[in-house]
A and B are shown apart, each in its own frame.
Chain A
């Protein structure tokens, strides 16, 4: 219980730090602390594999990607503002309604008596064969939940293709690329003329 309170204070503080930091690099540092605290919370919820994946995927892959992009774009032109005029007027009542609905949800969850769990047995974190252990998770991932796992692989492939198509055409120095660009421009102008007619 004490662990939960310490971690929740840490999570909220780092989230506030992330969204109010003046520079994106500071946001990345806040987000790193947020992810590590969340991994500890996952461990306390006996989700061992997810805690490890949280560190590897989020802190290791996504945050490094953010740092690379910040390094790429940091030519002193990244503007930011926290101005209140950014907030649309109609959003304030909507946010109020959503917060009230969320309060009612929390109240309902706290009032409902939950039946006894029907799943696997619980054991200390790190022991094999119990709920949340890596062996249990992996067995479920490759037997009963195989289709979602394959769909995930497909999503990652689509993301890779999309990123290459979006950001992968930086080869403008070679002669053939310039030629191709010229052809492309002429084709586009022809299409535009066709459209005007």
Chain B
């Protein structure tokens, strides 16, 4: 591998932005909480991609380590989110987020 990046850093920023907005769109438009959680994973991955790309640009592995920490936080988030989905399904017998108003005041 040569010293330069294989593509300009702006390309990585643009790709990460597009993927992040796809994740936001999924969270906003879908009513299935599982697909909303998957869209959150898409957003996590977009941020990780940017961290890794900038770590490569500066050849400092701190960015990679932060992306690694972000992966573990995403794992914890997915576990807790899925546990909440299971609890909601157990009590309400449906998984529609528009129908779920248990904590509405």
Query: What is the bound-complex CA distance between A80 and B28, given in angstroms?
Result: 12
Specify which chain B residues have a CB less than 8 angstroms from the CB of A86 in the assembled complex. Answer: 28-31
Interface size on A, residues (CB 8 A): 85
A28-B38, A66-B38, A132-B61 known; A78+B95 contact, CB < 8 A: yes
| Distance between A92 CB and nearest chain B CB, rounded to angstroms | 11
Q: Within the complex, which residue of B14, B71, B93, B96 is in contact with A57, where a contact is CB–CB below 8 Å? A: B71
Find out whether the CB atom of B57 lies under 8 angstroms from the CB atom of A114: yes
Interface residues of B (CB under 8 A from A): 1, 3, 5-11, 13-15, 17-19, 21-23, 25-26, 28-32, 34-35, 37-39, 41-42, 45, 48-49, 52-53, 55-62, 64-69, 71-80, 82-87, 89, 93-96
A122-B59 contact given A50-B64, A152-B72, CB 8 Å threshold: yes
Q: Closest CB of chain A to B27's CB: distance in Å?
A: 9
- Flag if B83 contacts A163 (CB, 8 Å): yes
| A27 with B34: CB separation less than 8 A | yes
Cβ B41 vs Cβ A91 within 8 A: no
Report how many A-B pairs have Cβ atoms within 8 Å. 229
Question: By the criterion CB–CB under 8 Å, are B65 and A145 in contact?
Answer: yes
Residues in A whose Cβ lies below 8 Å from that of B59: 117-122, 131
Contact between A24 and B32, CB atoms less than 8 A apart: yes
The A interface is mostly helix, strand or loop, or mixed, namely helix
Contact of B28 (CB < 8 Å), options: A15, A50, A91, A166: A91
Footprint of B on A, CB under 8 Å? 1, 3-5, 8, 11-12, 15-16, 18-19, 21, 24, 27-28, 31, 34-35, 38, 41-42, 44-47, 49-50, 53-54, 57-58, 61-62, 65-66, 69-70, 72-73, 77-82, 86-87, 91, 99, 102, 105-107, 109-110, 114, 117-125, 131-132, 136-137, 140-141, 145, 148-149, 151-152, 155-156, 158-160, 162-163, 166-167
